[in-house]
Amino acid sequence: MNPEEFSRLAELLKDRTGIVLGRDKEYLAESRLAPVARSWGFNSPTDLVRALVRRTGSGASQELLSAVVEAMTTNESFFFRDQTPFDQFRDVMLPNLMKARADTRRIRIWSAACSSGQEPYSLAMAIRELGAKVSGWRFDILATDLSKQIMNRAQDGVYTQFEVQRGLPIQYLAKYFEQEGDRWRIKRDIRDMVTFRAHNLLDSARPLGKFDIVFCRNVLIYFNQDTKRQVLDNISEVLASDGYLTLGGAETVLGLTDKFQAVSGYRGLFAPTSAQKKAAAPGR
């Protein structure tokens, strides 16, 4: 596709998802859109983009745009990716929140932009590994992603041999999965701990309810500064005043918002600032 067509594609994607598609991603766009072009009867991704521009505003264009967004926003994920956040979840977040929630014995967790579900299922397994320590507690994990297609796949909880070999301890495979032919399915009791829902991070998160912990890792890197601020603002509206936000190891709130501050000594872990604590919903 020529520069003008690529720019139009990038503009449509940014308006719909907030993702910034630089010129260096032209090859990625071509490779991701090739299967979409074939399924829609186009000879090439270039023809697809041209048709998308021509049909702007029509019902058909919305369906096509949704297919393009699905293809361009599907990101790689694997179980217990970057072990540190899960160690901090077990050793810092949960102990502190369980003390604060001793009356309700309930903790709500949001796994934002969860892709094919490895992160929320990893959180569920981490909770189960605590055994008697969490007996009598209720943990609600909400997992969201922009892609409805990837949400459906995540909800099924079925993974290839390659996927379960990436990051998943072998003992967890035996304990929490059942083999189905050459694939592996998460056991029902772990799947039941997670609810999946399509959600755009650019939209208000208030309809999702309040949360004690939010995982939003390796997402902000795809956004420009204004969109990063918007996403962080949306999260701040639903995070408890004593809650925790976990970002990717290369992500920060510095220079973006005054609603979160780094938790000293812990990588990628943030908490509401004093000013935000006054405005945020109190812990439950």
Of the candidates 75, 163, 166, the residue with the CA atom closest to the CA atom of residue 113: 75
Contacts (Cβ under 8 Å, ≥6 apart) of 95? none
How many Å apart are CA 74 and CA 35, to the nearest integer? 13
pLDDT value at residue 89: 98
pLDDT in tens, 180-238: 999 999 999 999 999 999 999 999 999 999 999 999 999 998 888 999 999 999 999 99
pLDDT value at residue 205: 98
How many Å apart are CA 148 and CA 60, to the nearest integer? 18
pLDDT in tens, 218-230: 999 888 899 999 9
Q: What is the DSSP letter of 145?
A: E
Contacts 24+ apart (CB under 8 A), 124-132: 124/190, 124/193, 124/194, 125/172, 125/176, 125/190, 126/86, 126/89, 126/90, 127/94, 127/193, 128/176, 128/189, 128/190, 129/90, 130/90, 130/94
Of the candidates 89, 161, 76, the residue with the CA atom closest to the CA atom of residue 123: 89
- What CATH architecture applies to the domain 84-279? 3-Layer(aba) Sandwich (3.40)
Domains in the chain: boundaries: 3-72, 84-279
Residue range 3-72 in CATH 2.40.50: no
**pLDDT tens, N- to C-terminus, the chain (284 residues):** 778 888 888 888 888 788 778 777 788 788 888 988 998 999 988 888 888 877 655 445 677 877 887 787 766 789 999 999 999 999 999 999 999 999 999 999 999 999 999 999 999 999 999 999 999 999 999 999 988 888 999 999 999 999 999 889 999 999 999 999 999 999 999 999 999 999 999 999 999 999 999 999 999 988 889 999 999 999 999 999 999 999 998 899 999 999 999 999 999 999 999 766 656 544 54
The C-alpha R_g of the chain, in whole angstroms, comes to: 20
Asked whether 19 and 73 are in contact (CB, 8 A), the reply is yes
